[in-house]
Structure 1
Amino acid sequence: MPPTFPASPSSSPSPAPCASPFSASLPSRDSVVAALRGAGCVFAEDEAALILAAARTAAELTAMVDRRVTGLPLELVLGWAEFRGLRVAVAPGVFVPRRRTEFLVSEALAHAPDADVVVDLCCGSGAVGAALAAALDRPEVHAADVDPAA
């Protein structure tokens, strides 16, 4: 299960650089937005801000923009997804938590607001178990998945 961290700057490993129209120099915010918008990213400005904040080098920025432009989900480009105020590490092959999954956590909390034990089966990234652990008063959490990527 990938680790879960409180929301903070990304510390995902640096991807290998790839060819890009940006390779000659550091892309500007506007050029990143334009590339994302051209690829059909509806929230290009927001995505550009996240990518620019996460990239540590020009090569990493170029690689991240290229991966997003080719259709890789933003969460996988960044290496994390925000879920109920937590920054959850994600990787290819692991469930990327979405806003609609937050409903599951809300329902669990509504039905068992004082749970002492949380079991998150087929946990993927562990987002559901981590969110329940953060919302409850020190529960015992068990999360398991048969997929080694999780």
Structure 2
Amino acid sequence: MSVHPISTTLSTTVLALRRAGCVFAEDEAVLLHEAAASPDELSALVERRAAGLPLEHVLGWAEFRGRRFAVDTGVFVPRRRTEFLVARAAALAPRRAVVVDLCCGSGALGVALAAASDTAELHACDVEPA
């Protein structure tokens, strides 16, 4: 796919994302505009997203429980619906919990659970270098 320069207007970006089938085109366009340092970079970001790359991989981060976590291709993107699981685990955890996050990916779940307790001890690891 060749790179075609796009207009730097938000509405043009929304249109390009809508054409590509992005359901939340308006929200994504704002994030892409905030992430891009130049029109050329914006064009490249929009092209990657329109080609089907997950938004979080295009941006290089995912938000989870109010924090940003670095993600790259090959790293599982933490899902919003998993925030409920972290909230439940935090509510049930003993005061001095030991949190073990195996195959942690970005580490978002373990960090969020440990952050919910000032005294939690976190151990997280993954075999995937990304």
Unaligned 5+ runs, structure 1: 1-17
Task: Report the Cα offset of residue 56 of structure 1.
Answer: 0.9
With a CA cutoff of 8 Å and minimum separation of 6, indicate the structure with the bigger relative contact order.
1
Deviation at 1:132, TM superposition (A): 1.1
Contact 2:95 2:119 in 1 (8 A): no
Indicate the RMSD between aligned Cα atoms, in angstroms: 1.6
1:107 paired to 2:79: no
Aligned-partner Cα distance in 2 for 1:39–1:113: 47
Secondary structure, counterpart of 2:81 in structure 1: helix
Partner residue of 2:98? 117
In structure 2, runs of 5+ residues without a counterpart are none
- C-alpha contact 2:5 2:40 (8 A) present in aligned 1: no
Aligned with residue 34 of structure 2, among 53, 61, 67:
53
Q: Quote how far apart the aligned CAs of 1:50 are.
A: 0.4
Count of aligned pairs: 130
Given the two structures, how large is their TM-score scaled by the length of structure 2?
A: 0.92
* 1:9-68: CA deviation from partner (whole Å, max 9, x where unpaired): xxxxxxxxx843325xx5211110100011111111110000000111222111100000
Q: Return the alpha-carbon distance in structure 2 between the equivalents of residues 140 and 71 of structure 1.
A: 38
Identical amino acids, percent of aligned pairs: 63
| Of 5, 8, 25, the match for 1:44 | 25
- Counterpart of 2:122? 141
Alignment pair present for 1:85 and 2:75: no
Counterpart pick for 1:76 among 52, 57, 60: 57
Q: Distance in 2 between matches of 1:34 and 1:61?
A: 14
Q: Indicate the residue corresponding to 2:43 in structure 1.
A: 62
8 Å contact kept, 1:113–1:136: no
